[in-house]
Amino acid sequence: MSQYYVGILILICINLLAVLGLSLMTGFTGLFNFGQAGFLAVGAYTATILTTHYAIPFLPALAAGMAVSVLTSFIIGYPTLRLKGDYFAIATLGFAEVVRLLVENLEKLTGGSRGIPRIPTNTSLPLALGASIIALWLVANYVSSRHGRNCVAVREDELAAESIGVDSFRYKQVVFAINAALGGLSGGLLAHYVGFIQPSMFSTIKSTELIVMVIFGGMHSLTGAVFSAIVLTSLPELLRTAQAWRLVAYGALVVLIMVARPEGLMGSWELTPANIKALFKKSGSAEEGE
């Protein structure tokens, strides 16, 4: 396989990690997060500073990036997770901007807006692929557990969820932390794949790109998250020959899907043996398999 395709595959895995966290948090628990890039930045800079300044080995540095990211989610989450939906979304937007500006201004540590060059490119395909498969397995387990159902209950009706004994704040903290861990891992892998990081890589555009992937694939479907991470990461690359028009095509496709199918491509459909069987049984009848 040529280096080019390996690269795209690695990028797919890196995006998938960040999207899985978001899918759990935004799709399943109903907490809109427009600041995922902030967690990527925390993970990326923590891991990178450790590997480049302190010569810490790659894997422990990645783990440290995840840990700092999770810690950040607790600090941000404690005051903001009690906010109502829209206000929380705005808080996450602000959080990502704060992280970006901090990184830009802590020049000694982060290289400011010039970034950090010459990062060891340790992220290999087996590592990225392995990490995303394990992450997918964990998140899929979580979603089908009683804790996953409690999260969906919070999304559906927080007051009713509380009334049957679900501690909604705790569940929000938990999914926010899982999301932060995956986002931090994604950022650490990204830095050690590209070999260079700078604050502009973690702008609102990156956050938007990730949340679009969740919505595009289907808010309530992990299958959708995987599918859209693959399609929406590789599409701009495959369209590279069209140069300037490729982002227009990308945008148009997303708009088209959202108009034609507001619940996202997969809606809440999951790729499980039982669901595939059901799909074949009624093939020919209805097109929309929900």
Contact residues toward other proteins (CB under 8 A) are 138-139, 141-142, 145-150, 152-153, 156-157, 159-168, 174, 220, 268
CA–CA distance, 290 with 266 (Å, rounded to integer)? 8
The nearer residue to other proteins, 55 or 159, going by C-beta atoms, is: 159
User: DSSP characters for the chain?
Assistant: --HHHHHHHHHHHHHHHHHHHHIIIIIIT----S-HHHHHHHHHHHHHHHHHHS---HHHHHHHHHHHHHHHHHHHHHHHTTS-HHHHHHHHHHHHHHHHHHHHH-HHHH-GGG-B--------HHHHHHHHHHHHHHHHHHHTSHHHHHHHHHHH-HHHHHHTT--HHHHHHHHHHHHHHHHHHHHHHHHHHHS-B-GGGGSHHHHHHHHHHHHHH-TT-HHHHHHHHHHHHHHHHHGGGGGGGHHHHHHHHHHHHHHH-TT-SSTT----HHHHHHHHHTTTS-S---
Nearest distance in Å: CB 238, other proteins: 34
The nearer residue to other proteins, 142 or 250, going by C-beta atoms, is: 142
The nearer residue to other proteins, 158 or 209, going by C-beta atoms, is: 158
Nearest distance in Å: CB 275, other proteins: 13
The nearer residue to other proteins, 45 or 176, going by C-beta atoms, is: 176
Nearest distance in Å: CB 164, other proteins: 4
Nearest distance in Å: CB 174, other proteins: 6
The nearer residue to other proteins, 61 or 266, going by C-beta atoms, is: 266
Nearest distance in Å: CB 273, other proteins: 17
Nearest distance in Å: CB 230, other proteins: 23
Nearest distance in Å: CB 12, other proteins: 23
Half-sphere exposure of 81 (CA within 13 A, CB side): 23
The nearer residue to other proteins, 12 or 153, going by C-beta atoms, is: 153
The nearer residue to other proteins, 30 or 115, going by C-beta atoms, is: 30
CA–CA distance, 56 with 46 (Å, rounded to integer)? 11
The nearer residue to other proteins, 134 or 249, going by C-beta atoms, is: 134
Nearest distance in Å: CB 197, other proteins: 29
CA–CA distance, 190 with 128 (Å, rounded to integer)? 10
